[in-house]
Copies of this chain bind each other. A is one copy, B any other.
Amino acid sequence: MGGDDAPGPNIDGARLALAEDPDLHVVLVGDESVVRPAVEGGDDYGGRLSFEVSHGVVGMEEKPTAALRAKPRCSITVCWTLMAERRVDAVVSAGNTGAVVAAGLRTRLFLKGVRRPGIAVTLPTLKGRSILVDVGANPLAKPDHLVQYGVMGAVLAKEVLGVENPRIGLMNIGSEDGKGNDLYRETHDLLRSSPATAANYVGNVEGRGLYRGEADVLVCEGFVGNVTLKVSEGIAEFLMTAAAGQVMGDLHANAASLGDAAPAAIASAKSSFESLGNRFRYSKVGGAPLLGIDGTCIISHGSSDATAIQNALAAVELFQHAHLNERMAEALAVLQPAPATPTNP
């Protein structure tokens, strides 16, 4: 039910993924009037497409906690319940991000040792790809939460991006020690001293450094991460519009000197900007995992199309195959304080 154009892209994306992956099963969760015909009205892929009825939806503009309380059997709550009952392995949603996270927190379905789950996004950089955690799951992060994001993000970078020793950085307003507020100073000290992160911690990284690929995993609290992600979307949209306008405008202005080749040159540039749009448009990206869940939760962009939903379902498969949660639990165990030595009174 979630997403700006739901339910169309969710249903179509599920069908695309089912056709592609013979091991995949999808349960569509939603109002009966939506999910029953979506399943019964076409191929059910040998029983691999089924549905579960829920009642009500948390709208994109609703306040998550109040809406979840008011609608105890809404679609996102039913999704998480299915996962808590181990009837599904993963939840994929393009709905209200706050509601997806809040419904998940209610299940307390956390990986062992995890204090607060965080959302990770993979962003393109000058050097390849980097992971940013948290982009909005945790508005009240503490230093030990951020250290856990570094540890879990590093597992993601290693297992999914294929980086052998992922460099962990702390997004900050300067690269020197002592930069930022108390949260960032304490996190910096912890990342530098923790046995789980010290060897791969590259220190504070400025906003510029994110897109220069100065770290494979960048850690920040949710407000800053969310603004970073949305500013990035905004400026990408703005710059691509400006760049296309400039390049096409100049080619048109130079049409005389290009002669008969002018249309071909303009067509080439037009196709270049279409390729760029596909490379950098966030609605094409499958989604962002909520790290720290005992299960898999992929949060897709509200404007996801069917391809994005298909990609999100493929990401679930990737995470399962990489045994991401087992690897994260092992890495997080290094962070746990040693059990207190029993003393004889």
Which residues of A approach B to under 8 Å, CB–CB?
A: 61-63, 98, 124-126, 136, 139-140, 171, 173-176, 178, 180-181, 184, 206-212, 220, 222-224, 226-243, 246-247, 249-251, 254, 257-262, 264-265, 268-269, 271-273, 275-276, 279-280
Contact = CB atoms under 8 A, between A and B. Distances in A.
Contacts of A139: 173, 180-181
Tallying the copies of this chain within the complex gives 2
Contact of A231 (B136, B175, B208, B240): B208
A206 B273 CA distance: 25
12 contacts: A173-B226, A207-B227, A220-B227, A231-B232, A232-B235, A239-B243, A239-B280, A243-B276, A249-B272, A258-B258, A259-B260, A259-B261
A234 B207 contact: yes
Given A98-B174, A207-B228, A224-B224, A238 B126 contact: yes
Nearest to A265: B265
The prevalent SS among residues of A at the interface is helix
Contact of A247 (B125, B247, B260): B247
Name the residue in A171, A236, A240, A268 with the highest tally of chain B Cβ atoms < 10 Å from its Cβ.
Answer: A268
A18 to B, nearest CB: 32
A238 B261 contact: no
Contact of A124 (B173, B236, B238): B238
B125 A176 contact: no
A260 to B, nearest CB: 7
Contacts of A261: 257-262, 265
Contact of A254 (B212, B264, B280): B264
B250 A231 contact: no
Contacts of A247: 247, 268-269, 272-273
Nearest to A248: B272
